[in-house]
Amino acid sequence: MSIWETDVKISFFQKLDKNKKVDILIIGGGLSGIHTLYKFKEEQSICLVEANTIGCGVTKNTTGKLTYLQENTLGYLIKKGKQKEAKLYLKSQIEGIQEYLKIIKEEQIDCNLEKVSSYLVTNQEKYLSDLEQIEEFLKNEEILVKRGIPENTLPFLAGISVLDTYVFHPLKYIKGILKKIQPESIYENTRVVNITKNNDIYECITKEGYTIFAKKVIVACHYPFFLFPYFLPIKTSIEKSYIIAKQVNANLKYSYITMESPSMSSRFYQNKDKMYQLILGKSHSTSVSQNDKQNFHEVKQENQIEEDSIICSWSNVDIKTFDHMPLVGELKDNLYIITGFETWGLIQSLVSANIIKDLLDGKPSLLSDLFSPKRSFLKKILCSPFYLTLNGYSFLKSKFYKKNWYSNQLEFYRKDGKLLAVFHDEAGAHVVHPVCPHMKCGLIFNEKEKTWDCPCHSSKFDIDGNVLKGPSKKSISYFDE
């Protein structure tokens, strides 16, 4: 459970129990879907379907920072000398923050919004020139940048900071924004499992077998549950990070992120008279490391976190793309996608919702070109072998790496040639077939969260095999078969 879930429950919405006809269907109720729905709130014929509950995906597990000092996205463009793109990207992020402030003010959303400085820091000399390049770029864009490192934290070699950035409570924000949206337009516990096209109408089939007929479909479900069009696995990889919230005595007005890999980041959060520090660490590709318990342990050690100060801890994943830019736009006739946020999706989801709105209104822009999922054919082709190898490596590792799947509470056996895994706890035996239905990767048991995780494309299942997170559409419960 993330710290945001401890004090906010999003109210329950209806479940779809009949066929439905709309002009626009949004699939996925994270910030991407909710922002898009908000942008179309005047639209009469629209609905959003969410497989579980609103905000329950990657969104509820973020660190809640609204900053444009993003090393992997903005930093990448600057370092590559892509000045024009970097300016465009920076402008979009600054405008995104301004729009957040406007929405929060206009809709009177109480979401613990605080203005804090954002730091980009490093402990390694090899990053000093990159840091300088980013600093120079920001100065040229007339942004007030300061040199220096944050106070009262681990010692860093160097850093820069900007002032006009924020932190907030993502679930309180969603709860506030939902008050401005017609509740009849939202369906929870409604998972789309298939999309087909008949004449000009998309037919989106739900797990329960109902059909939503839609002229336009916006897929905002993080990792899409379909492979074609686009075949995302060869254009992306999955990054996972570990977050610990600990109680502290002061609410310091800064956030930071390190430039090195694996990166580390932090922010503070105050809820009434209680103050917390969120520390994120050990970010890595899921193909590299799969032992969550060990990773949490290392984050604790590296940051000298006392066990009894910990309030909660959780992990999260996001999608990295071939050029560090999001994938937002039309995939093919009236089928749109919003994904690939590289761990910076809070602002990007709002920026993306604007792009989708403009595209549907027939107004493409330079930014929609920069984020277009159809962009840079050559780059995609060149990157594909890398992602193919990474995905292949994850697949093979998941199949052959044993070590009892990181838990000694598991038993494995074969029945009729099929691998089964049994997890024992007070409630009894939980039997699953530990193979992801999406692309047949072997699942890894996450002892910390008591889930089965896919190291290739980030599907997640509970101990009874129910899908917690896609792209898998199916459960892995033995008893469902």
Ligand X SMILES: Cc1cc2nc3c(=O)[nH]c(=O)nc-3n(C[C@H](O)[C@H](O)[C@H](O)COP(=O)(O)OP(=O)(O)OC[C@H]3O[C@@H](n4cnc5c(N)ncnc54)[C@H](O)[C@@H]3O)c2cc1C
Q: Is 174 in the site for ligand X (CB under 6 A)?
A: no
Backbone angles phi, psi at 150, to 5 degrees: -65, 155
Planar angle of CA 360, 362, 367, nearest 5 degrees:
85
Q: Is 474 in the site for ligand X (CB under 6 A)?
A: no
The least CB distance from residue 416 to ligand X, in Å, is: 30
**Contact with ligand X (CB under 6 A) among 36, 263, 295, 316:** 316
User: 186 and 26 in contact (C-beta within 8 Å)?
Assistant: no
The least CB distance from residue 408 to ligand X, in Å, is: 28
Cα(112)–Cα(170) distance, rounded to whole angstroms? 9
Pairing relationship of beta strands 20-27 and 451-453 according to DSSP bridges: unpaired
Cα(203)–Cα(335) distance, rounded to whole angstroms? 12
Q: Which is nearer to ligand X, 28 or 442 (CB)?
A: 28
Closest by Cα among 458, 436, 437, 445 to 412: 445
Q: Is 263 in the site for ligand X (CB under 6 A)?
A: no
Q: Is 344 in the site for ligand X (CB under 6 A)?
A: yes
Q: How many residues bind ligand X (CB under 6 A)?
A: 39
Q: Which is nearer to ligand X, 58 or 160 (CB)?
A: 58
Q: Is 262 in the site for ligand X (CB under 6 A)?
A: no
**Contact with ligand X (CB under 6 A) among 20, 64, 230, 434:** 64
Q: Which is nearer to ligand X, 181 or 420 (CB)?
A: 181
User: 341 and 96 in contact (C-beta within 8 Å)?
Assistant: no
Kindly compute the dihedral angle of the four CA atoms of residues 189, 193, 194, 195, in this order, to the nearest 10 degrees: 40
The least CB distance from residue 442 to ligand X, in Å, is: 21
List binders of ligand X among 356-415 (CB under 6 A).
Answer: none
Burial string for 268-295 (b: 16+ CB within 10 Å, else e) reads: bbeeeeebbbbbbbbbbbbbeebbbeeb
Taken as a whole, the chain contains a residue count of 481
Q: Which stretch binds ligand X (CB under 6 A): 48-56, 100-108, 152-160, 444-452?
A: 48-56
**Contact with ligand X (CB under 6 A) among 345, 373, 434, 465:** 345
**Contact with ligand X (CB under 6 A) among 10, 346, 432, 435:** 346
Q: Is 222 in the site for ligand X (CB under 6 A)?
A: yes
Any idea what DSSP says for residue 443?
Answer: P
Q: Which is nearer to ligand X, 235 or 421 (CB)?
A: 235
Q: Which is nearer to ligand X, 291 or 315 (CB)?
A: 315
Backbone angles phi, psi at 264, to 5 degrees: -130, 145
Q: Is 56 in the site for ligand X (CB under 6 A)?
A: yes
Cα(449)–Cα(464) distance, rounded to whole angstroms? 13
Closest by Cα among 325, 332, 360, 342 to 222: 342
Q: Which stretch binds ligand X (CB under 6 A): 7-15, 18-26, 312-320, 424-432?
A: 312-320
List binders of ligand X among 228-247 (CB under 6 A).
Answer: 241, 243
- By CB under 6 A, name the binding residues for ligand X: 27-33, 49-52, 56-59, 62-65, 191-192, 220-222, 225, 241, 243, 280, 316-318, 341, 343-347, 349, 470
